[in-house]
Amino acid sequence: MGRVSDARERLLEAMMELIWTGSYGRTSVDHICDRAGVKKGSFYYFFESKSALAVAALDHSWSEYLVKLSRFFDSDVPPVERILRCFRDFRKEQEAMKSQHGRVLGCPIHSLGAEVATTDPELRDRLQGILDEFLFYYEKAIREGQAEGSVVEGDPGLLARMVFAYSEGLLLHARMKNDLAPLDDFERGTLHLLGAMLPVA
């Protein structure tokens, strides 16, 4: 068992791994504790429920990912390239997860969101908050692309939601097929949606 001082961290990591790889609804507190290597008493010392742990795990994971996201969407990077870089990282992450777990896992945010949308309002709202933050980066890049003429005119919020929904659809398709091939369509499809030119090789 891990030291008491790192029990909370172990629980956060175990929860995120289980969100990625399994069903939230079928994951019990006992299962989480077994995966984390901590006693059940430690779980309830830090978290009042599985839902509270899930929210904390998502917050922890998202705060770490924001560092990477801010780098992808740096203002020195051309606007459309920011979105493409972000998805290339998704692709690498999916490849790593498939290598580790033996299957394509898709997007944990949407997978979990679909599962808890009607059963856990607190968790659903936190997931929606993360998606809204993600869309902020997409919309900002699209606005700047429109200002420089590299993105088609139109409602930047709508374009951001279209590109984001397209990317999530590809991730879901890849998960269902257990095949990364659908992700190969992202760059060309996104450039088409944004009316952007294909990058010169």
Domain harbouring 17, CATH code: 1.10.10.60
Same domain, 20 and 86: no
Q: What is the pLDDT of residue 4?
A: 46
Q: What is the pLDDT of residue 201?
A: 41
Q: What is the pLDDT of residue 22?
A: 84
Same domain, 146 and 187: yes
Number of independent structural domains in the chain: 2
Residue 43 near residue 29 (C-beta atoms within 8 A): yes
Same domain, 78 and 177: yes
Placement of tokens 């998202």 in the chain: 62
The domain containing residue 147 runs over which residues? Answer: 73-194
Q: What is the pLDDT of residue 1?
A: 45
Q: Of the residues 28, 58, 88, which one is the last residue of a structural domain?
A: 58
Digitized pLDDT (tens) for each residue of the chain, 201 residues in all: 445 469 999 999 999 999 999 889 889 999 999 999 999 999 999 999 999 999 999 999 999 999 999 999 999 999 999 999 999 999 999 999 999 999 999 999 999 999 999 999 999 999 999 999 999 999 999 999 999 999 999 999 999 999 999 999 999 999 999 999 999 999 999 999 999 755 544
If 0-12 CB within 10 Å is exposed, 13-18 middle and 19+ buried, where does residue 18 land? Answer: buried
Name the DSSP letter for residue 198.
Answer: P
Residue 150 lies in a domain: yes
Cα gap 199→19, rounded to integer Å = 36
Same domain, 40 and 121: no
Same domain, 94 and 45: no
Same domain, 176 and 77: yes
Residue 131 neighbours by CB under 8 Å, 6+ apart: 109, 113, 164
Cα gap 44→105, rounded to integer Å = 29
Name the DSSP letter for residue 194.
Answer: H
Cα distances (angstroms) measured from residue 92 to each of 85, 97, 106, 180: 11, 9, 12, 10
pTM of the full structure: 0.88
